[in-house]
Amino acid sequence: MANRVQNTTEKLLEHIRFLAGEIDPRGATRPEERQAADCAFGQLEGLGFQPSMEHFNSATSIYHPHIITAVLMLAAFVIYPLAGRITVAIAAGMSLFALASDLLELGFLPNPLRWVTPKGRSQNVWATLDPQGEHRQDLILVGHLDTHQTGKIFSTQGWVKFFQSFTTIAFAAFSAQVGFFLAGILAQWNWLWYASIPSALAALVLLAICWEADRAPFSPGANDNASAVAMVLTLAEALITSPLKHTRVWFVLTGCEEVQHYGMIDLIKRHKAEWLAPKVLVFEMLGVAGPAWETKEGIIVPFKPDKALTHIVETLAETHPDLGAYPVFIVGGNSEMADAHRAGLPAITFFGLTPVGRAPFWHQAGDTPDKMDPGVLARTYQFTRLFIDQVDTGV
């Protein structure tokens, strides 16, 4: 048993070392992301699968829509007082357009900002494994291939907390600007423009933050998210020799998660109709803390995992205390569970946050393979296998 656990852990580490050590940082739509996808494809093919690679168009940066929003809010502030009700109406329209579009972007929904931001090509890699017996359900295992930029806002826990608080303040200020400017169409009160000064300052700060982050180097992404890719590939190797009884398993490596989940959204659009009683298990940051599962996530709209899947992990955590599994939640962020949730698919995320909610080496240059904890990887793998087996036997 000890040797099997050690061998599995070494396989996980081997995948992580290659993805985050041999390949350069894997920015969305960049050649390095494609190289990682080719590697995953080759690994699955070498195991005996018949993998597929599907291409899609994606934004190249998560920051471009927010930069445009900040510029539009600033431009509206400047235009407002220039020519009475005409420029007031223009400024109000610009502000409303910018705020509504950015809120749609944060909700992963189509919006005009996406029409003008740069696009690139990316890809998902996936393979399936049929069950030994009657096919009664699908289990989709998901890990993303790409990595994020190492902006200043991710450099320390203090910066992370500042940015989380600032975004709330900024959008409250932007909402106030919209309200003030709409009121200004009817009432030409000078104080309405002065009252929007905090919104203009927030737009300046948002512009500076996003401009800097968009030009920062990409993270090596060992924990986020080579650890998840390693988990999917290692599970594929283990399960191909012992398929589940009634569950077809999808092993999915997505592109462009870091730029609003274009890969996961594309996967669901293409394949949702062919999934039978699907359940989605998303992996995030498994190499330093955990095993842990999410109880809530979200930026604007909160998303919670499926109740039945949550009951399984809670029971497993109680009956296997040696694995040390615990619940976590994230504020101001989403995993690919949110995409499944919006599509009406039961889903849960295994997310390696610390018990106090910190994401180790999140979007940092220090997210390298040497930071991985073999014990955490081993326990997370064991917890995941127990979960998968329970899902299979529960049908």
Nearest in space to 214 (alpha carbons), one of 65, 107, 339: 65
Instruction: Give the whole-angstrom CA distance, residue 304 versus residue 377.
Output: 24
d(CA 185, CA 113): 25
Which region, left, alpha or beta, applies to residue 298 given φ > 0 means left and ψ of -120 to 50 means alpha? left
Is the pLDDT score of 2 beyond 60? no
Tell me the pairing of strands 247-254 and 119-129: antiparallel
Backbone angles phi, psi at 332, to 5 degrees: 75, 30
In which element (H, E) is residue 215 found? none
Q: What is the pLDDT of residues 333-357, one digit of tens each?
A: 899 999 999 999 999 999 999 999 8
3-class secondary-structure state, position 386? helix
What pLDDT, on the 0 to 100 scale, is given for residue 301? 79
Residue 259: count other Cβ atoms within 10 Å of its Cβ.
24
pLDDT of residue 177: 97
Provide the pLDDT confidence category of residue 99 given band limits of 50, 70 and 90.
very high
Peptide bond into 3 cis (omega under 30): no
Whole-angstrom Cα distance, residue 229 to residue 23?
14
Side-chain-side CA neighbours of 257 within 13 Å: the count stands at 30
CA Rg, the chain, in Å? Answer: 23
Q: Is 278:140 a contact under the CB 8 Å cutoff?
A: yes
Q: Which residues touch 164 (CB under 8 Å, ≥6 apart)? A: 331, 332
> What are 129-158's pLDDT values in tens digits?
999 999 999 999 999 999 999 999 999 999
Distance CA 375, CA 352 (A): 13
pLDDT tens for each residue of 170-199:
999 999 999 999 999 998 888 999 999 999
Q: What secondary structure letter does DSSP report for 24?
A: P
Strand ranges (E), 137-221 = 137-144
The number of CA neighbours under 13 Å toward the Cβ of 75 is 13
| Model confidence at 313: pLDDT above 70 | yes
pLDDT tens-digit readout, 249-268: 999 999 999 999 999 999 99
Per-residue confidence band for 302, with pLDDT thresholds at 50, 70 and 90? confident
pLDDT at 62 over 90: yes
Residue 131: asked if its preceding bond is cis (omega within 30°), the reply is no
| CA–CA gap between residue 229 and residue 374 (Å, rounded) | 16
Would you say the pTM of this structure is higher than 0.85? yes
CA gap 61, 27 in Å, rounded: 9
Ramachandran category for residue 63: left, alpha or beta (phi over 0 → left; psi -120 to 50 → alpha)? alpha
Cβ atoms of 283 and 225 closer than 8 Å:
yes
Phi, psi of 61 (to 5 degrees): -150, 140
pLDDT recorded at residue 395:
64
Residue 370 has pLDDT above 70, yes or no: yes
Residue 3 pLDDT level (bands cut at 50, 70, 90): low
Domains of the chain with CATH codes: 2-60+120-150+218-393 (3.40.630.10), 64-115+156-214 (no CATH)
